[in-house]
Structure 1
Amino acid sequence: MLQAHFALAGSVIICLSLMLGGLLLSTDYAVVSVAQLVFGIAAGAVMRGRSSRVAADDAADSASSRKSKRKPRELTSDELSAQMAREAAAEDAADVAVRIRGKQVAAPPADEEAEEEWDEAAEYALDEAEEDEDAEVPVSSLAAKAAEEKSASDSGISKIRDVIVNGLKKTVRDDEPESSPPPRVRDKKRGEKPTDSAREEMLASLNELNESEAALDYELPSIELLTEGDDVCFEEQTIEVRRKAKILEKTFADFGFKVKVVEIETGPVIAQYEVELEAGLRLSRITGLADDLAIALRVPSVRIVAPIPGKNTVGIEVPNETRQVVRLREVLEESSKQVKNMRIPIFLGKDVSGNPMTVDLSTLPHLLIAGRTGTGKSVCLNAIISSILMTRRPEEVRMLMIDPKMVELSCYGRLPHLMHPVVTDMRKAEAILAWAVDKMEERYALLARAGVRHISSYNQLGKEELMERLEVESDEEAEAIPDHLPFIVIVADEMADLMMTAGKEVEQHIIRLAQKSRAVGIHLILATQKPTVDVITGLIKSNLPARIAFQVASRTDSRVVLDEMGA
């Protein structure tokens, strides 16, 4: 009985649940639609009320402005930015150029009266573009030729032939053979070693030029051709150096050192102040004040020479406020007595004390000049060449010049001292150095036969004594032997280009000449603006003891040239 009651109650509950679920499912969509409708009506009413209020406010503002004649209402920042954006957009739309199908379309008119005309023009442009699209597109000649060949091949017009391959018959097209271009001949690379014939031609030209120009009646240039030196105001320089001497003594006193300036030597660029130190004062304490002295003297830097060679004083080199230009003429005039005892005099300038610096190239015996662009390297090279031309005749000194730049030494192309025109091709430059090596060996053999050790001793022998020592038998042999051997100076403006073009051969020639050519009167003057290890190798540097270093790019370059910093 109880079980029947529970079954009846359960069935009733299930039926009610199903009815409620069906009712909810059927009324869900209707409820949502009604809610959307209600919210839409409410939102419309709110918007209409807001617009009516805004219109009323605008009408009130306009009426009040007409009555009171006040200024128009100022726009807020948001309204002002919106208005500016609309104006900018309108201007951009008017300026933008429109192209339709590759044709320029005019901008729409600003006034409303011309809108109809603009619409008609736009429709006409569109119709014309459609007509152009329907027209045939021109085809280039190459494309037409390719199309014809393709159509011909597709239609079977090309000829065919039968070929037997490995016993099988195959049908292939019988086309005309294509023409292949002729083989290209590769040019000789730059820097390639010249052939033996080229070297023989170079040797013959050098000998012919030497014989033809040696007999020229050359007169030394007059010193009047050179520019005179500038006048020096000694009073102003005296006042300047005395003032700086007092500053030096005061600066040392501020650091607790009792130092006295005993002598001042003034040169064209710097002045050297000799200072005497008190007893017990270490040199290291003085050299450590270089930067402080430069600040006190208001100069970029000072150089302390501790001690001065041959003296018990310390030198302080300070740049002059006004630099003087050192002319070649004044150096020539001041060192005229020294030139008489020199074989190849070269004038380098003036030292710290203002005394002329004149050296004999034959005693150096070779010279290396290094410095970056714009530091005076080329000026120094020209001064050395001019020194030789002003003091020595062609039968005394002959020259060979190598100029990779083609413009630096071109002004010396017509000199009688030259054994060969200025060399600008690096292949010929290697041949020139090879010829110099052969000339060196030839001269050594001649000196050995004459029984002398140096070219100067050979030149001092007379014709008769020379023939006796050489035991010459025929007149032809006597004419072939020179009774006077001139010095030969080889000038190379840019050594880096030589090493890059033919490094191994050039390095070997330079090393052999630097080691042995001094006694036979062949000397090298090498200049470079790239004093690196690959250009100035260890063997080359060890055989070039005389070096001139201008300002270089780094401390490493200074060590390569001078074995120390400072350049």
Structure 2
Amino acid sequence: MGIEPGLTPAAEEEMMRQLLEFQADQIEMVLQGHRVRARVTGGVVTPRWISFQLVPEVAARVSKIFGLSEELALRLGAESVRISRRGSQIQIDVPHPNPQTVHLLPLLRSLPNLPKQSAVLGLDESGTPLVLRLTSPDVAHVLVAGTTGSGKTALVRSIALSLALFNRLGDVQMVFIDPKGSGFAPFVQGVNGGVLPHLLRPPVRDVHRAVFLLGEMVEEMVRRDQRRISEPRIVIFIDELADLMEQGGKAMDRLMTRLTQRGRSAGIHLIACTQKPLVAAIGSITRSNFPVRLVGSVASADDAKIAAGIPNSGAEKLLGRGDFVLVAKGQIRRFQAAYVSDDEIRNVVGRMQGSRAQSRRWLEEEESAASAAATGTDGKATTPRPRRRISSMFGHQLRLIK
């Protein structure tokens, strides 16, 4: 049972309500068939998942519920389901029959007050906007890992654009190191030749220039330490970190180590992407100084452990295309990364360059039909039966990682 395309909003809402009730009934039937007494009490619809909340009876064995993931997936016609514990409840995540993209610009329009020097990542499992605050002592630097197709470059682009839209030049400035030359290209190819005003330097592709640039950043770090200043924040974005470290040799390793160890206090942050977060590729000291990990789909449980820095992150079960887990302070939170297209970046950069002023008013222009996809719904809550509460309307509160 799925949702047919081309339906009116009212018909689609009714189809979704029927689907939610059907799947909730199927979950209860599977559990009852295995003599597990439990009840689906509600849930949340997000762009990629339908999350059901399950309350087991006192005598029910929770471990038995966790062992029924394959049976539940088979009954629901899903490739897989994810089962986790949330306080006194069990959460069962089922893939959305019509997965939706979380578009960055409509999502930003829905956030009237974003903390200073913070970046929007996307929507978490409860549909709450997930925000990363760079100035927090527990954030400092961010490592983004995942295989090709996981969406790590798209996520980093969204981070960069959200920082630019909500912060003036006196708050945040940026540096791009882009060996492939395509990851951050839209930021310097804006409409009418626009370039992102927040850039300190043109994007660097050559490894030797990257070493020189990072050397300048180390000198700036030392200068700031001596003067005890940390503003404006400088964010260094690096695509394909492992390849850069391999080609840059000891000089690159030495510079990266100094920046990751001492950069935060001077207001210098690194956000680095890699397909290979191995110790041999990026160095044990460098890797250990990334307290926040954003991990997309990886090939195996071993790769997931290396990328997340902790075991049992579940990254090997992610779906790709923006499906990520955030790992910070030993805690894991799954989220759908926000997406912004090349053309959207070029349009925003062109308007920002044209006025030389950074303002949220750019977000109020060019409203698109994708605004509904930013929250995963048309803005209306479903109307479930009295015994369950399934919500598909997401609030505008922020979940701040700090």
TM-score (norm 1): 0.50
1:511 pairs with 2:290:
no
1:293 pairs with 2:72:
yes
Specify which of 321, 324, 338 is matched with residue 100 of structure 2. 324
User: Alpha-carbon deviations, 1:73-117, whole Å to 9, x = none?
Assistant: xxxxxxxxxxxxxxxxxxxxxxxxxxxxxxxxxxxxxxxxxxxxx
Specify which of 243, 255, 262 is matched with residue 22 of structure 2. 243
Letter in 2 for 1:350: L
* CA shift in 2, pair 1:357/1:236, >3 Å: farther
Q: CA deviation at 1:327?
A: 1.0
CA–CA distance in 2 between the matches of 1:362 and 1:235?
44
CA–CA distance in 1 between the matches of 2:96 and 2:170?
43
Instruction: Say if 2:187 and 2:196, in contact at 8 Å, map to a contact too.
Output: yes
Instruction: Find the residue that maps to 1:323 and give its secondary structure.
Output: coil
Question: After the TM superposition, which of the residue ranges 253-262 and 403-412 deviates more from structure 2?
Answer: 403-412
Q: CA deviation at 1:509?
A: 1.8
Match of 1:475 in 2: none
Instruction: Find the residue that maps to 2:281 and give its secondary structure.
Output: coil
Instruction: Say if 1:331 and 1:350, in contact at 8 Å, map to a contact too.
Output: no
Letter in 1 for 2:182: V
Specify which of 75, 88, 97 is matched with residue 312 of structure 1. 88
CA–CA distance in 1 between the matches of 2:98 and 2:149?
20
Residue pairs, 1:526-541, within 5 angstroms: 526-541=272-287
Match of 1:354 in 2: 127
1:407 pairs with 2:153:
no
Q: CA deviation at 1:535?
A: 2.0
Instruction: Find the residue that maps to 2:258 and give its secondary structure.
Output: helix
User: Alpha-carbon deviations, 1:354-405, whole Å to 9, x = none?
Assistant: 2211221222121111111112111111111111121112222111110000
CA–CA distance in 1 between the matches of 2:15 and 2:120?
28
TM-score (norm 2): 0.70
Q: Give the structure with the higher percent strand.
A: 2
1:336 pairs with 2:112:
yes
CA–CA distance in 1 between the matches of 2:284 and 2:17?
46
Q: CA deviation at 1:536?
A: 3.7
User: Alpha-carbon deviations, 1:483-513, whole Å to 9, x = none?
Assistant: xx31100000110221111232222222221
Instruction: Say if 2:38 and 2:60, in contact at 8 Å, map to a contact too.
Output: no
Specify which of 118, 132, 139 is matched with residue 345 of structure 1. 118
Instruction: Find the residue that maps to 1:300 and give its secondary structure.
Output: coil
User: Alpha-carbon deviations, 1:151-189, whole Å to 9, x = none?
Assistant: xxxxxxxxxxxxxxxxxxxxxxxxxxxxxxxxxxxxxxx
Q: CA deviation at 1:260?
A: 0.3
Instruction: Find the residue that maps to 1:519 and give its secondary structure.
Output: helix
The number of residue pairs the alignment matches comes to 296
Specify which of 126, 129, 141 is matched with residue 366 of structure 1. 141
Match of 1:548 in 2: 294
Match of 1:462 in 2: none
CA–CA distance in 2 between the matches of 1:278 and 1:271?
22
Q: CA deviation at 1:525?
A: 0.4
Match of 2:39 in 1: 260
CA–CA distance in 1 between the matches of 2:40 and 2:47?
20
Where do 5+ consecutive residues of structure 1 fail to align?
Answer: 1-230, 448-453, 456-484
Match of 1:498 in 2: 244
Letter in 2 for 1:554: S
Instruction: Say if 2:218 and 2:255, in contact at 8 Å, map to a contact too.
Output: yes
Q: CA RMSD in A?
A: 1.7
Q: Which has the higher contact order (CA 8 A, sep 6+)?
A: 2
Match of 2:311 in 1: 564
Q: Give the structure with the higher percent helix.
A: 1
CA–CA distance in 1 between the matches of 2:287 and 2:42?
37
Letter in 1 for 2:118: P
Instruction: Say if 2:246 and 2:282, in contact at 8 Å, map to a contact too.
Output: no
Instruction: Find the residue that maps to 1:535 and give its secondary structure.
Output: helix
Instruction: Find the residue that maps to 1:393 and give its secondary structure.
Output: coil
CA–CA distance in 1 between the matches of 2:97 and 2:18?
12
Match of 1:439 in 2: 220
Instruction: Say if 2:36 and 2:61, in contact at 8 Å, map to a contact too.
Output: no
Q: CA deviation at 1:288?
A: 0.9
Q: CA deviation at 1:435?
A: 1.4
1:419 pairs with 2:195:
no
Letter in 2 for 1:261: V
CA–CA distance in 1 between the matches of 2:162 and 2:174?
13
Instruction: Say if 2:279 and 2:287, in contact at 8 Å, map to a contact too.
Output: no
Instruction: Find the residue that maps to 2:92 and give its secondary structure.
Output: strand
Q: CA deviation at 1:350?
A: 0.8
Instruction: Say if 1:398 and 1:419, in contact at 8 Å, map to a contact too.
Output: yes
Letter in 2 for 1:237: M
Letter in 2 for 1:286: I
CA–CA distance in 2 between the matches of 1:418 and 1:313?
47
Instruction: Find the residue that maps to 2:280 and give its secondary structure.
Output: coil
Instruction: Say if 1:335 and 1:358, in contact at 8 Å, map to a contact too.
Output: no
Instruction: Say if 1:362 and 1:523, in contact at 8 Å, map to a contact too.
Output: no
1:392 pairs with 2:139:
no
Letter in 2 for 1:502: G
Instruction: Say if 2:52 and 2:91, in contact at 8 Å, map to a contact too.
Output: yes
CA–CA distance in 1 between the matches of 2:213 and 2:15?
52
Instruction: Find the residue that maps to 2:269 and give its secondary structure.
Output: strand
Match of 1:521 in 2: 267
CA–CA distance in 2 between the matches of 1:535 and 1:251?
46
User: Alpha-carbon deviations, 1:213-239, whole Å to 9, x = none?
Assistant: xxxxxxxxxxxxxxxxxx794333222
Residue pairs, 1:371-382, within 5 angstroms: 371-382=146-157
Letter in 1 for 2:83: I
Instruction: Say if 2:175 and 2:235, in contact at 8 Å, map to a contact too.
Output: yes
Q: CA deviation at 1:534?
A: 1.5
Instruction: Find the residue that maps to 1:500 and give its secondary structure.
Output: helix
